[in-house]
Amino acid sequence: MVDVLWAPQTPLALAACVAAGLVYGFAGFGAALVAVPALAALYSPADAVGIFALSALASLVTVVPRAWREADRPAVAQLLVGAAVTLPIGLYVLRTAPTEVLRWAISLVVLGTVAALAAPNERRAGVRMRRCTECPHVMPLHVQVCARCGADLPFPAPAPERAARQERLFES
């Protein structure tokens, strides 16, 4: 791997890592979506994952102290169990699959993720949803008539968790 770091394409790899860092700095996620496909085009997929992992270690210095205080420990434990189970599988695939297959797989995963993030989604935009009283149709809270069955929908009361969250905000 040392010879990979001094290859002629190193400036392009550094540019990809800087671009990934900018995305991570602005969005808080997505560095791997930028860096790994670019690095996999320059190097083998196995080297790309290794190079990105090394570059991502630098962010641990800034992220871990705050994350350690705010982490949901049971959720983190579940993620660690999942990672411990799937990491050997991923490493096996990374070492044994043909390079071109891995490059296509990385590209398809990235394209699918970008498409999912770019797709309009009212739930992600902060619009509260509700279910029709007559049919199972789900629609935004501001819709007054169900588009599927035509039922007139009553205006719902505020959600208790939202009221409690607003009270906590005003207390602090």
Q: How many CB atoms lie within 10 A of CB 29?
A: 9
- What pLDDT is stored for residue 161 in this prediction? 65
* Assessment of whether the complete model's pTM goes beyond 0.85: no
Residue 7's SS3 state is coil
| Spatial CB neighbours of 43, under 8 Å, sequence gap ≥ 6 | 4, 7, 9, 13, 51
Percent of the chain with pLDDT over 90: 15
**What's the DSSP call for residue 36?**
H
Q: What is the largest CA-CA distance in the chain?
A: 68
Note down pLDDT in tens along the chain; length 172 residues. Answer: 556 567 788 888 889 888 988 888 777 778 888 999 999 888 888 888 888 888 888 877 877 888 888 888 888 899 999 999 999 999 999 899 999 999 899 889 988 988 887 777 655 566 677 888 888 888 887 777 888 888 888 776 666 666 666 666 666 5
Nearest to 31 by CA among 41, 39, 40, 19: 19
- Find the angle CA(17)-CA(18)-CA(21) to the nearest 5 degrees: 85
- What pLDDT is stored for residue 92 in this prediction? 93
Element (H, E) at 139: strand 138-140
| Two tokens, residue 97 | 């699959």
Q: How many CB atoms lie within 10 A of CB 25?
A: 11
- What pLDDT is stored for residue 21 in this prediction? 86
The separation between CA 109 and the C-alpha centre of its own chain, rounded to angstroms, equals: 12
